[in-house]
């Protein structure tokens, strides 16, 4: 089965208060994206990587990423929103297969999670990694708020994984502001999505504290190696 990983990394990362986008911040001498790309290359020797980058990073992408040129890695332009960035990436898909859509800033994705998503997508057409909320959750409604059962609240992660015949037609829809991930796009196209167990360590670098946690985790992993 043909495999593609569309790694979206075209955001500007405003919440990080950093001059360079968070996906290019270096950890132990390598950009965050380097680790993310390696995770997918390691998972499947035949996978094709479609890297969605800001326009100004395109020309020197391999150099900036500290990666030697690799014909299995294709680079394309980001769009105005995550939906448009994914849409651009999907245009490079030419064969039927399984597609992982992954946040470039989730550099700790494990080989187990990638394989769990792959196997579930083969079985049911989609695999959306999710973890149960640890915090108490309240829904705000004007000046009041109400508590809901946190065991029913799922925090959604990536790689969101699909068969091409489900994902590609869904991305032909017009953009809607409710499209915060691929699962919401596929559902709006009338298809069911299937959750799989995600990982609490599969952190999305969003704020400076996330980077500190990831640096510490890399240190621990090195100690174990």
Q: Which parts of this chain interact with ligand C5P (CB under 6 A)?
A: 8-11, 23, 52, 78-82, 85, 103-105, 206
Phi, psi values for residue 140, rounded to 5°: -90, 140
Task: Pick between residue 10 and residue 47 the one whose CB is nearest to ligand C5P.
Answer: 10
CA atoms within 13 A on the CB side of 177: 0
Task: Pick between residue 23 and residue 160 the one whose CB is nearest to ligand C5P.
Answer: 23
d(CA 164, CA 143): 44
Residue nearest to ligand C5P (CB): 11
d(CA 125, CA 161): 8
Query: Which tokens belong to 87?
Result: 């849409």
Task: Pick between residue 145 and residue 180 the one whose CB is nearest to ligand C5P.
Answer: 180
Task: Pick between residue 23 and residue 126 the one whose CB is nearest to ligand C5P.
Answer: 23
Which alpha helices (H) appear in the chain, and where do they start and end?
32-43, 61-64, 82-90, 111-124, 164-170, 182-188, 208-224
CB of 160 to ligand C5P, least distance (A): 12
CB of 103 to ligand C5P, least distance (A): 4
CB of 35 to ligand C5P, least distance (A): 13
Phi, psi values for residue 43, rounded to 5°: -65, -40
- Say which DSSP state 47 is in: P
CB of 105 to ligand C5P, least distance (A): 4
Task: Pick between residue 175 and residue 218 the one whose CB is nearest to ligand C5P.
Answer: 175
CB of 7 to ligand C5P, least distance (A): 8
Q: Please tell me whether residue 170 adopts helix, strand or coil conformation.
A: helix
d(CA 107, CA 37): 8
CB of 23 to ligand C5P, least distance (A): 5
Q: For the chain, first and last CA: distance in Å?
A: 32
d(CA 2, CA 162): 12
∠ CA 30-98-112, nearest 5°, is: 55
CB of 82 to ligand C5P, least distance (A): 4
Task: Pick between residue 119 and residue 184 the one whose CB is nearest to ligand C5P.
Answer: 184
Task: Pick between residue 80 and residue 139 the one whose CB is nearest to ligand C5P.
Answer: 80
């Amino acid at each position: 089965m043909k495999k593609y990983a569309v790694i979206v990394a075209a955001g500007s990362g405003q919440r990080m208060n950093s001059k360079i986008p968070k996906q290019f911040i270096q950890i132990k001498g390598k950009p965050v994206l380097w680790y993310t790309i390696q995770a997918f290359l390691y998972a499947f020797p035949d996978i094709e990587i479609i890297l969605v980058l800001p326009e100004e990073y395109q020309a020197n992408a391999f150099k900036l990423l500290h990666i030697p040129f690799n014909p299995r890695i294709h680079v394309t332009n980001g769009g105005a929103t995550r939906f448009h960035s994914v849409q651009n990436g999907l245009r490079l898909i030419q064969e039927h297969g399984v597609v992982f859509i992954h946040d470039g800033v989730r550099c700790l994705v494990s080989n187990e999670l990638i394989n769990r998503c792959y196997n579930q997508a083969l079985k049911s057409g989609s695999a959306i990694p999710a973890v149960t909320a640890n915090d108490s959750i309240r829904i705000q409604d004007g000046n009041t708020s109400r508590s809901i059962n946190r065991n029913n609240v799922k925090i959604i992660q990536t790689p969101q994984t699909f068969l091409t015949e489900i994902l590609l037609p869904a991305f032909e829809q017009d953009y809607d502001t409710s499209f915060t991930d691929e699962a919401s796009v596929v559902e709006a196209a009338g298809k069911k999505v299937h959750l799989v167990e995600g990982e609490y360590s599969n952190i999305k670098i969003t704020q400076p504290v996330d980077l500190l946690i990831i640096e510490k985790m890399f240190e621990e992993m090195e100690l174990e190696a």
